[in-house]
């Protein structure tokens, strides 16, 4: 189904939900940010002229007083989906996902794409968060598999 997900100004957008496993082996949110397509585009691809901004600014601008509920909805979905997605692959141990989602005109969430190891987001200086989470998860795995 084609989903119309546009800003108030008419730009297409989606959200990147960037999740990783942390030091306790559980999923955690590294970042959530909008990806906004250039005017006239049907895709919000950052490599094709799209751009991003800080999520709190975007959510307040696009959703007004409901911004907090939208933020919590995205956060809750990111974590529950990651657990469910991983359960579908018994022999694969995922450590990082980039989940691209959109909200339709009724506020329903739609999955566009799921990427493994999507790379750090382009804003918010979270590259160090990505590295920290990766190292903490590696330490968790090493300790879990340590032979005494």
In a domain, 33, yes or no: yes
As a whole number, mean pLDDT of residues 27-43 equals 93
Here the tokens at position 34 are 């909008």
pLDDT value for 3:
87
Whole-number pLDDT of residue 71: 98
Scanning the structure block, which residue is given the tokens 């999507």? 118
Residue 5 lies in a domain: no
Q: Is residue 2 part of a domain?
A: no
Report which of residues 137 and 49 the model is more confident about. Answer: 137
- For residue 57, pLDDT over 90 is answered with yes
The CATH number of whichever domain residue 57 belongs to comes to 3.30.470.20
Q: Domain range for residue 127?
A: 13-144
Q: How many structural domains compose the chain?
A: 1
Residue 8 lies in a domain: no
Distances (CA, A) of 25 to 18, 54, 93, 126: 16, 28, 11, 20
Asked if residue 85 is part of any domain, the answer here is: yes
Residue 101 maps to a domain: yes
Model confidence over 82-127: pLDDT tens digits? 999 999 998 888 999 999 999 998 999 999 999 998 876 666 677 8
| C-alpha distance across the termini of the chain, in Å | 53
Mean pLDDT of 121-142: 86
Residue 4 lies in a domain: no
């Amino acid at each position: 189904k084609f989903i119309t997900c546009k800003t108030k100004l008419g730009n297409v957008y989606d959200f990147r939900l960037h999740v990783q496993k942390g030091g306790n082996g559980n999923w955690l949110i590294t970042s959530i940010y909008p990806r906004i397509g250039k005017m006239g585009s049907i895709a919000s691809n950052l490599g094709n002229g799209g751009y991003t901004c800080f999520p709190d600014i975007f959510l307040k601008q696009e959703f007004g007083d409901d911004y907090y509920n939208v933020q919590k909805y995205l956060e809750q979905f990111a974590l529950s989906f990651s657990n469910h997605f991983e359960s579908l692959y018994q022999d694969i141990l995922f450590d990082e996902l980039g989940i691209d989602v959109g909200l339709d005109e009724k506020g329903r969430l739609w999955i566009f794409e799921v990427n493994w190891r999507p790379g750090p987001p382009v804003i918010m200086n979270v590259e160090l968060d990505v590295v920290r989470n990766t190292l903490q998860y590696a330490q968790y795995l090493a300790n879990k598999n340590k032979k005494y």
